[in-house]
Amino acid sequence: MLIEIKDIYKIYNEGKESEVRALDGVSLHIDRGEFVAIIGASGSGKSTLMNILGCLDIPTYGDYILDGTDITDRSDRQLARIRNKEIGFIFQGYNLIPALTAYENVELPLIYQGVPLWKREELVMEALEKVAMADRWKHKPAEMSGGQQQRVAIARAIATHPPIIMADEPTGALDSKTGKHVLEILHTLNEEGTTIILITHDNGIAATARRVVRISDGHIVADGTREEVGL
Amino acid sequence: MKLGQAVKMAAKSIFSNVGRSALTMLGIIIGLAAVIILVSYAQGQNAAMKAYYESMGTNTVQVSASTWNSSINVSQALYDYCLGLSDHVVGVTPNGSVWSDTKISYESKTLTGEDWNTRINIYMGNDQYGLCNDFKIARGRELSYLDIEKLNQVCVLGSEAAQQIFAFADPLDKTITINGIPFRVVGIYQSKAQGKNLGTSENNQWILDEIKRKDRMILIPSTMTRYFNQNRPIEEYVVKVKSSDDIATVVTSLNGYLSGLISENNGYFSVGSPETWQAQENEAAALQQRFLGGIAAISLLVGGIGIMNIMLVTVTERTREIGIRKAIGAERKSIIVQFLIEAAMICGIGGLFGIGVGYVGTLIVGKLSFGIILIPSPGVTVGAAAISVALGIIFGMYPAVKASGLQPVVALRAD
Ligand SMILES: Nc1ncnc2c1ncn2[C@@H]1O[C@H](COP(=O)(O)OP(=O)(O)O)[C@@H](O)[C@H]1O
Ligand SMILES: [Mg+2]
């Protein structure tokens, strides 16, 4: 089992009147090679779940076992390593660094990993080719369309060849055609063995996943194939 | 992450916002320039003072005394007392000068000492005048004991005086007149400026001028006082002591002797040596320099706080970038290093400009206050560069640590 979370709670302003239980006792298993879509209404807790799965956030309560090791109480440094090596992130807002070119953005995780220059060059161009952005390597984010930026963001996510890709509404800001293209890339990656966790509120996109998890008010309310979940 | 990468990233972010970076640097530029100018000024002052006092003679004690009590012949008594200090003393000379305006003539040429810058001073001394005042004979001879005794109308020229009166002619055995009284030139002193080690201030025009002024002199026998100063006795002596250890002893002895001889209401006296004067001036200068140094330190502090301020703004502005970097695997350490290098680089570049401004400022200050070409020493330059980078690291530390501590999810939410 690749990912296992047990009784995860994320509670904001706990004990106060403004308390929000973004995650209210969530348990989930994800196996290597799965393509999981997490769906739910806006504010249901999807992003919170992904941030915790991706070690970007820490749960208020609960345990997280990644690839057989409990990482619940890991140090900042160890979590940084995990984010760098094990997980690639794709965000709705692309989150590229504006001052850097496409090449430099994709290179960044490799730099933090300590990959030598000659190897980086190879890996960056390989990743950019995979998303058909190799010819735009010199461009800055402001000089690219949303779809192109998202493809560069995907290239950055896959440059280190992480076993897991987490995407939070990756098509949310794109028109349907470009969105489809991005989805295709994710499927290709999954066919090559990468575990994909895709967050979306679009049922049509979720329907392309083999497994769908529905979340509502911080609870998992359904988990299964799209038929089982009722898409 | 490698250091080279971090430097590249820092450079990128500095040059992506040139205006802001320049403003940040301004504080450092001003602070550093102030430090360089003040330190260089102090060094120039010290060097000038050292050379100036050295040109007065080393291991010498200057003493003067005067009294209205006509029953005491201070001049003779003082001279005798100085000779009596023979354990510590190698020479004593009267050190009189002609007060009135003088007219020095040679053939058809006449020099009146009206212009202070070219004025030739007439001194009255004995056969030990050169020894006591660190003048060395270049050609001819010193005054002799007999010249003094016999009131021989002979003189020794300082090198500048010889140049002014004779230009390229040979002064030896020529006769000049001073206020109409003929004097035969028996010797010429070496220039004090020549072969003088002025250290780093070789083109130190002000000091050279001061020393040249010493060369602009004519020495005549001390007994000539009757023709020039209405026969007033010479009441000033220069004593050459054996070694610098003897200075204090001789000064103390002379003070003791003279305070016994002259009471407060019937005259005055003074005893001192260039060494002790220099020490006193050094002390005063050190106090002044410490004060100026404090001001410079404050201006650097203000510059550093400016850096911290701007770095804090930068961190806030780039919170999202920090979030992205953390999300893709940057450790705290990498973020800290990145911002520290950025701060150090801004300060370093600002420091280079500051050094440039400091050089120009030092040149101007040197010209205005000493009339010389004053250049900051290599030590000051290197020190200033090091200080500027250190400032960046010290004042960049807090913003950098603050930036690195952000939770990735929190940072990513920022816009
Ligand atoms: N920092 C926060 N402080 C308070 N409440 C928050 C915070 N972040 C998220 N929430 C709340 O948690 C709930 C889940 O948010 P989120 O996971 O972003 O939902 P989704 O991604 O499904 O739209 C929402 O009600 C949201 O308002
Ligand atoms: Mg969301």
Number of structural domains, chain B?
2
- Residue located via tokens 């420091």: B351
**A218, A26 Cβ separation under 8 angstroms:** yes
Q: Are residues B46 and B63 in the same domain?
A: no
Extended strands (E) in B192-277: 217-221, 236-241, 267-272
Residue A207, min C-alpha distance to chain B (Å): 28
Final residue belonging to a domain, choices B217, B245, B273: B273
Q: What is the mean pLDDT of residues B39-57?
A: 78
Expressed in angstroms and rounded, the spacing between residue A178 Cα and the centre of ligand 2 is 20
Which chain A residues have a beta carbon less than 8 Å from that of B329? 80-81, 83-85, 109, 112-113, 160
**Do B214 and B127 reside in the same domain of the chain?**
yes
Each residue of A14-26: pLDDT tens digit?
989 999 999 999 9
Q: Which residue of A has its CA nearest to B335?
A: A112
Between the alpha carbon of residue B76 and those of residues A55, B91, B145, B236, B262, the distances in Å are: 99, 16, 17, 11, 14
Asked whether the beta carbons of B269 and B69 are under 8 A apart, the reply is: no
The torsion angle over the Cα atoms of residues B115, B116, B119 and B125, rounded to 10 degrees, is 150
**Sheet containing strand A3-12, strands side by side:** A20-30, A3-12, A61-66, A69-70
Q: 3-state secondary structure string, B284-317?
A: HHHHHHHHHHHHHHHHHHHHHHHHHHHHHHHHHH
Task: Report which of A98, A99, A139 is spatially closest to residue B14, judged by C-alpha positions.
Answer: A99
Q: What pLDDT shows up at residue B153? A: 95
β-strands A164-168, A87-90 pairing: parallel
Does ligand 1 come within 6 angstroms of the Cβ of A101? no
Q: For the residues B374-399, what does the mean pLDDT come to?
A: 87
Cα–Cα dist A200/A42, whole Å: 10
- Domain identity same for B323 and B351: yes
What is the pLDDT at residue A95?
94
Give the containing element (helix H, strand E) for A104: helix A102-113
Structure confidence at residue B202 (pLDDT)? 44
Q: Are residues B309 and B343 in the same domain?
A: yes
The residue nearest atom 20 of ligand 1, judged by CA position, is: A43
Helices in B129-230 by DSSP H: which ranges? 129-132, 145-149, 159-166, 205-215, 225-228
What string of H, E and C letters represents the secondary structure of B326-387?
A: HHCCCCHHHHHHHHHHHHHHHHHHHHHHHHHHHHHHHHHHHHHHHCCCCCCCHHHHHHHHHH
- Name the residue range of residue B94's domain: 59-273
User: For A176-207, what is each residue's pLDDT tens digit?
Assistant: 888 998 999 999 999 999 999 999 989 999 99
Q: Among A143-152, B127-136, B260-269, whose mean pLDDT is lowest? A: B260-269
Chain mean pLDDT for chain B = 86
Q: What is the phi-psi region of residue B289: left when phi exceeds 0, alpha when psi lies from -120 to 50, beta otherwise? A: alpha
- Maximum average pLDDT range among A39-43, B71-75, B115-119, B366-370: A39-43
pTM: 0.71
| Residue pLDDT, tens place only, B182-191 | 999 999 999 8
| Whether B332 and A100 lie within 8 Å, measured CB to CB | no
The domains of chain A, with CATH numbers, are 33-55+80-229 (3.40.50.300)
Residue B52 has pLDDT above 70, yes or no: yes
Sorting pLDDT into bands at 50, 70 and 90, what band is B206? low
> pLDDT tens across A96-134, in order?
999 899 999 999 999 999 999 999 999 999 999 999 999
User: Which pLDDT belongs to residue B2?
Assistant: 67
Q: Which of A225-229, B63-67, B111-115, B153-157 has the highest mean pLDDT?
A: B153-157
Tell me what pLDDT residue B28 has.
Answer: 86
Per DSSP, A19 falls in state: -
Q: Which residue of A has its CA nearest to B322?
A: A97
Q: Is A38 in the pocket of ligand 1 (CB under 6 A)?
A: no
Among residues B227, B242, B273, which one ends one of the domains?
A: B273
What pLDDT score was predicted for residue B331? 92
Highest mean pLDDT among A81-90, B9-18, B344-353: A81-90
Under an 8 A CB cutoff, do A156 and B328 touch?
Answer: yes
Torsion over CA of B392, B393, B396 and B397, rounded to 10 degrees? -170
Collect all residues of chain B within an 8 Å Cβ-Cβ radius of residue A111. Answer: 1-2, 5
B77 and B153 inside one domain: yes
Look at residue B196 in the predicted model and tell me its pLDDT: 54
R_g (Cα) of chain A, nearest Å: 18
Together in a domain, B11 and B74: no
Answer yes or no: do B294 and B263 share one domain.
no
Structure token digits, residue B399: 């913003």
Residue A175: strand, helix, or coil: coil
At A123 the pLDDT is 97
Shared domain check, B333 and B258 = no
For residue B203, the model assigns a pLDDT of 47
Is the Cβ of B4 closer than 8 Å to some Cβ of chain A? Answer: no
Asked if the interface predicted TM-score (ipTM) of this complex is over 0.90, the answer is: yes
Residues B104 and B221 in one domain: yes
Residue B205 has what pLDDT?
A: 62
In this structure, are B96 and B232 located in the same domain?
yes
Among residues B252, B273, B294, the one where a domain terminates is B273
CB of B327 within 8 Å of a chain A CB? The answer is yes
- Domain check: are B288 and B405 in the same one? yes
Same structural domain, B122 and B41: no
Residue of B202 and B211 predicted with greater confidence: B211
Contact assessment for residue A2 and residue A163, using Cβ atoms and an 8 Å cutoff: yes
pLDDT at B76 over 60: yes
Show the tokens assigned to A205: 């996109």
